[in-house]
Amino acid sequence: QNSVIWRETDVDTPANIDAIVSQNPFHYEILAQLGWNIQDSKNKYDVKSKLEQNTKYISISIDSAEPERAKEYLEVFLAKINAFYYPKVKTNVELLNNTIKRIINEKQGISSQIELLHSKLDTLENEDIKLKRQVDEIQNRNTQALNQHDKILAKESNPDSMTPLLLYSNIMQENLTQIDKILNNMRENNKIQREDLQQDIKDLKVELANLDVQLKNLESKLAVLGVKANPDTQDGQSEDIEVSGIKIIQEPTIDPQRVSPKRTLMVAVAGVLGLFVGIFAAFAAEFWQSHKVSA
Angle between helix axes 27-34 and 67-155 (nearest 10 degrees) is 110
Task: Indicate the SS3 state at residue 135.
Answer: helix
Claim: this prediction has a pTM higher than 0.85: no
The answer to whether residues 225 and 9 touch, using CB atoms and an 8 Å cutoff, is: yes
Kindly indicate the confidence band of residue 44, based on its pLDDT and cuts at 50, 70 and 90.
confident
What is the distance between the alpha carbons of residues 255 and 236, in angstroms, rounded to a whole number? 40
Give whole-number Cα distances, 170 to 105, 164, 242, 278, in Å. Answer: 61, 10, 89, 146
Is 80 or 256 the better-scoring residue by pLDDT? 80
Q: What is the pLDDT of residue 237?
A: 42
Q: Is 12 helix (H, G, I), strand (E, B) or coil?
A: coil
49 strand-pairing partners: 60
Q: 235 pLDDT exceeds 90? A: no
Residue 129 near residue 216, CB atoms below 8 Å: no
What's residue 115's pLDDT? Answer: 93
Candidate from 46-50, 120-124, 253-257, 264-268 with smallest mean pLDDT:
253-257
Lowest mean pLDDT among 17-26, 101-110, 127-136: 127-136
User: Has residue 215 got a pLDDT over 70?
Assistant: yes
Say how many CA atoms lie within 13 Å of 37 toward its Cβ.
4
The answer to whether residue 62 scores a pLDDT higher than 70 is yes
Phi-psi region of 123 (alpha: psi -120 to 50; beta: other; left: phi over 0): alpha
Predicted confidence band of residue 6 (pLDDT cuts 50, 70, 90) = low
From 17-31, 41-55, 246-260, the region with the lowest mean pLDDT? 246-260
pLDDT > 70? residue 79? yes
